[in-house]
Amino acid sequence: MPGLSAGVLEGDPRALARVLTLLENGDDLGLQVMDRLFPHTGNAWITGITGPPGGGKSTLVNELIRHYRSQRLRVAVIAIDPSSPITGGATLGDRIRMTEWHDDAGVFIRSMASRRFGGGLAQNTLAVAHAFDAAGFDHILIETVGTGQDEVAIASLALTTVLVQVPGTGDGVQTLKAGSLEIGDILVVTKADRPEANELARDLRRLKTLVFDPHELAEGWQQPVVKTSALSGEGITELATAIANHRAWLQESGEIETRRIAIASTEISSRVESALRARMLDFRDNRNGDLHRLVEDVVSRRLAAHRAAERILHELR
């Protein structure tokens, strides 16, 4: 264990890869290593990138890597891949798309399957991010699948959240899920070379005035809309600048502490939820008779569901 933690702190990629696997699998050894690594974290900037599938998020991440590497900054990417419904494995699509960084020691790309995340994205993703942080990476980019709760959940994991929207999908503003606009610290319109991009960017700017309180808009962070194009490279420098500006605003306003508290709270609660879920499954599998009787009592109206839940929680103490 001391050898693994020392290896991560020294930047050994093999030690880091092994620790990442241990953490993803919830292995006790990985958690013991994290005990040693955690005091060395808190330096990397975590940026979440989310949006609809096919919106160009992976291409955007690739261009951000290029920008940061031109500044000699080390970049880690956590790509949350869809899970196979059969094996639970990740598709590893993002690794395939980013092979140009394979021989760059300043870039580490890790694909993670979204299955088995007891607390949504939080538990495993943040553990992996801590390991990257301890290993000395300057920027950690978390790219989500962009479907379901993952799209909104990323805001509770990242210090800066980039919400990607793509033009040419009909009424783009109507496709925004409830709550999605609010989670984006920075709004990005990809494929800026398309004629619909200007219209979508304009609609997003207008929509902000309808969603947010005017006083909050005047006093708080001014949510920028950035247009980017992978073909021309347009907007990548502007996006990196917007991320840096948001980082500076969080630090100067004191909101950075609020973000860090929210992230820590999310990580703690996700682990509690995961542990309770595991114990509940154990209760179901090993004490099926008890659960069956409680279910029968609820069905027959002899016992309210919340009282049945209370009894199970009492047994799980």
What is the three-class DSSP state of 112?
strand
289 and 190 within one domain: no
Give the number of domains in the chain: 2
281 and 243 within one domain: no
User: What Cα–Cα distance (Å) separates residue 302 from each residue in 292, 296, 299, 306, 307?
Assistant: 14, 8, 8, 12, 10
* Partners of 112 in beta bridges: 80
238 and 276 within one domain: no
300 and 168 within one domain: no
State how far the Cα of 247 lies from the Cα of 221, in Å rounded to an integer: 11
Q: Is 235 left (phi over 0), alpha (psi -120 to 50) or beta?
A: left
83 and 177 within one domain: yes
> Which CATH number covers residue 191?
3.40.50.300
pTM of the predicted model, to two decimals?
A: 0.86
75 and 101 within one domain: yes
Nearest to 2 by CA among 29, 28, 27, 23: 29
Residues contacting 184, CB < 8 A, separation 6+: 161, 162, 163, 223
Domain boundary pick from 204, 226, 254: 254
- The range of the structural domain enclosing residue 297 comes to 270-316
Per-residue pLDDT of the chain (317 residues; tens, 9 = 90+): 679 999 999 999 999 999 999 998 889 999 999 999 999 999 999 999 988 877 888 889 999 999 999 999 999 999 987 654 444 444 455 455 566 788 899 999 998 876 544 444 667 899 999 999 999 999 999 998 765 555 667 888 899 999 998 887 655 555 555 456 778 899 999 888 888 888 888 888 877 666 555 555 556 888 899 999 877 888 999 999 999 999 999 999 999 999 999 999 988 988 888 888 888 888 888 877 788 899 999 999 999 999 999 998 888 87
Residue 109 belongs to what H/E stretch? strand 107-113
Residues contacting 192, CB < 8 A, separation 6+: 227, 228, 229, 232, 234, 235
Question: What pLDDT shows up at residue 244?
Answer: 98
286 and 214 within one domain: no
